[in-house]
Chain A
Amino acid sequence: TQLLEQSPQFLSIQEGENLTVYCNSSSVFSSLQWYRQEPGEGPVLLVTVVTGGEVKKLKRLTFQFGDARKDSSLHITAAQPGDTGLYLCAAHRGKTSYDKVIFGPGTSLSVIP
């Protein structure tokens, strides 16, 4: 059973469109991270959110942590081909046990020029 669920699983859009991907769980997390992974490479950290309701912006990317710290969303404005990749959310349920780091299955995004 996936403790972190991500939706949609796959997304193919045209360059310039906006999109939102979601990360959901029934568990409460102390923090949540978003990563982007390109084929054949390791995940690259985009952002960490800690506070419920927190919103962080990274250029055209907007990240939000749910008020209850159980879910998060990533919104991309005016998507570009360079945004193509696998978007992973990861979370810690505790602060001291490292095998509690869990990843979602990812959303595979393809931005068509």
Chain B
Amino acid sequence: DTGVSQNPRHKITKRGQNVTFRCDPISEHNRLYWYRQTLGQGPEFLTYFQNEAQLEKSRLLSDRFSAERPKGSFSTLEIQRTEQGDSAMYLCASSPDRTQETQYFGPGTRLLVL
């Protein structure tokens, strides 16, 4: 399978705990995006990487959220001191340089904060 992969697929945690999600993009894609999706809504942009550089961050990305892409390949999204409002599906997408509009999504990580 050469698509975008995300791990874990599901995560249940208690309020106040830290969680980390991983995204492996399509291998030749330089651009990587993180989105958050809540029930009944479309995905909301969180942040974007061009290779290892984090170029855009949404206002939605509070200081409890941090994303990295240290070698320009896989990326991690960490949420510190989770809150119940963080419960959502976290989606990763990647795209090649030449087609900036076309993003290929992973299956997502569904987070439930109790």
Contacts and interface: CB of A to CB of B under 8 A. Distances in A.
Interface residues of A, number: 25
B107 A42 contact: yes
A24 interface: no
Nearest to A38: B107
Contacts, number: 65
A49 to B, nearest CB: 10
B101 A48 contact: yes
Given A40-B110, A42-B108, A99 B101 contact: no
Contacts of A105: 40-42
A90 B42 contact: yes
A42 B91 contact: yes
B42 A33 contact: no
A41 B101 contact: no
Interface of A: 4, 30-31, 33, 35, 40-45, 48, 88, 90, 92, 95, 97-99, 101-106
Interface of B: 4, 6, 31, 33, 40-45, 48, 55-58, 91-93, 100-108, 110
Given A44-B105, A45-B102, A48-B101, 11 more contacts: A4-B42, A41-B107, A42-B4, A42-B91, A43-B91, A92-B100, A95-B100, A98-B33, A98-B56, A102-B42, A105-B42
